[in-house]
Amino acid sequence: MQETKAAKMTEVKGKERLIVALDVPSMDEALALVEELRDEVGMFKVGLELFTHCGTKLLDELKRLEAPVFFDGKFHDIPNTAAAASREIAGRGVEMFNVHAQGGSEMIKAAQKAAHEAADAAKVKRPILLAVTVLTSISQEILTNDLGISDKVDQVVGRYAALAYRSGADGVVASAKEVPIIRSQVGNKFIIVTPGIRPTWASEDDQKRIVTPKEAVEMGTDYVVVGRPITRAKDRKDAAKRIAEELSI
């Protein structure tokens, strides 16, 4: 954790802040996107759809290409199982991966410890461990009625971010809107990664609480995750370049 927090002090800038979501259904398409965009962006996000299709072969291939990866697997299980999964992923040299904060302190600590051990054993960089607080698809109504949590979403986000921080995670995935409450709980050195980004020139798609790349950085996020505004653009390289420019403030 110390290492990551020290790295955060050096500040991520411009294209390093830009994580492109590889939301495509096949390995060939994913690798083609990586080849096309690798000079314009800092990292590539591998989510559950692509991972369940390709398996660890994809991660190994991305490692061979030296493409930095955010593995968005959102582990949430008993500490022993979450640690075992984290070991597998960290040993493959990913740059970032995540767990659900709702797994609790013991699970987060176990995941972090296993990740560090596996990365050290494989002689690769220790990955940044992020915690997911409350999914942006969870509305107040779902939180209250389905999950039986009577607090406001923002309060729960703040509490889970504080839990992740105390438990040794390096940061959280959160909407830009939640950045102020997270910063008030854990300060400036905790990493915040934000999806739901839309430049003014792109379609909103199904995202609801969107912010522009520039706004996200101004609000205090460290990295942004962008999918369709780049992957569905006519000129994908140009779209990535324009977003990276906006992030260079």
Residues lying near ligand C5P in the complex (CB under 6 A) are found at 21, 23, 47, 135-136, 173, 195-196, 205, 207, 225-228
Nearest-approach distance from CB 122 to ligand C5P, in angstroms: 27
Pairing of strands 223-226, 191-194: parallel
Q: Across the strands, what pairs with 191?
A: 171
CB of 138 to ligand C5P, least distance (A): 9
Q: How far apart are CA 33 and CA 118, in angstroms?
A: 29
C-alpha 211/C-alpha 200 separation (Å) is 9
Alpha carbon separation from 69 to 4, 41, 132 (Å, rounded): 16, 11, 17
**Residue sitting closest to ligand C5P (CB):** 227
Shortest Cβ distance from residue 21 to ligand C5P (Å)?
4
Kindly tell me which of 163 and 224 has the beta carbon lying closer to ligand C5P. 224
Closest CB to ligand C5P among residues 22, 110:
22
Task: Select 110 or 130, whichever has its Cβ closest to ligand C5P.
Answer: 130
Cα 211 from Cα 140, distance rounded (Å)? 20
Structure tokens at 63: 């490692």
Residue (67 or 83) nearer to ligand C5P, CB = 67
Least distance (Å) from ligand C5P to the CB of residue 94? Answer: 16
74, 109, 125, 189: the catalytic one is: 74
d(CA 242, CA 239): 5
CB distance 198 to 229 below 8 Å: yes
For the question of residue 74 being annotated catalytic, the response is yes
Least distance from ligand C5P to the Cβ atom of residue 80, Å: 26
| DSSP code of residue 197 | B
Residue number, 83 or 243, with CB nearest to ligand C5P: 243
3-state secondary structure of 168: coil
Active site residues: 74
